[in-house]
């Protein structure tokens, strides 16, 4: 499912216009991304948690040459599914 089909699905379930659903979805994504960027987590009980996670620097290998390379530390976004979501999928 991509963004367009998600908007179609939500519009069909709620009776809202596609434009309204698109605006709400954009607002949701903007709120989650800006909160995670600030270092806060966003928890939707039963669905999951969005948060930032720090990866430590490590040594890797270039698969083409086999040469050892240093991979720098960085912060990445992480989503962890909630209990309800996990049980629905399993």
Reported as a single tens digit per residue, the pLDDT across 38-61 is: 999 999 999 999 999 999 999 999
Give the mean pLDDT of 4-30: 97
CA 31 to mean position of chain CA atoms: 12
Domain ranges of the chain: 3-89
Secondary structure string (H, E, C) spanning 4-28: HHHHHHHHHHHCCCHHHHHHHHHHH
Q: How far apart are CA 8 and CA 69, in angstroms?
A: 45
- Percentage of residues of the chain with pLDDT beyond 90: 99
CATH code reported for the domain at 3-89: 4.10.520.10
pLDDT over 90 (residue 90): no
């Amino acid at each position: 499912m991509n963004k367009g089909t998600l908007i179609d699905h939500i519009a069909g379930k709620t009776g809202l216009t596609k434009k309204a659903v698109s605006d709400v979805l954009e607002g949701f994504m903007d709120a989650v991304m800006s909160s995670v960027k600030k270092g806060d987590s966003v928890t939707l009980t039963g669905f999951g948690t969005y948060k930032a996670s720090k990866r430590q620097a490590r040594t890797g290998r270039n698969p083409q040459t086999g040469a050892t390379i240093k991979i720098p530390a960085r912060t990445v976004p992480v989503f962890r599914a909630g209990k309800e979501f996990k049980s629905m999928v399993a």
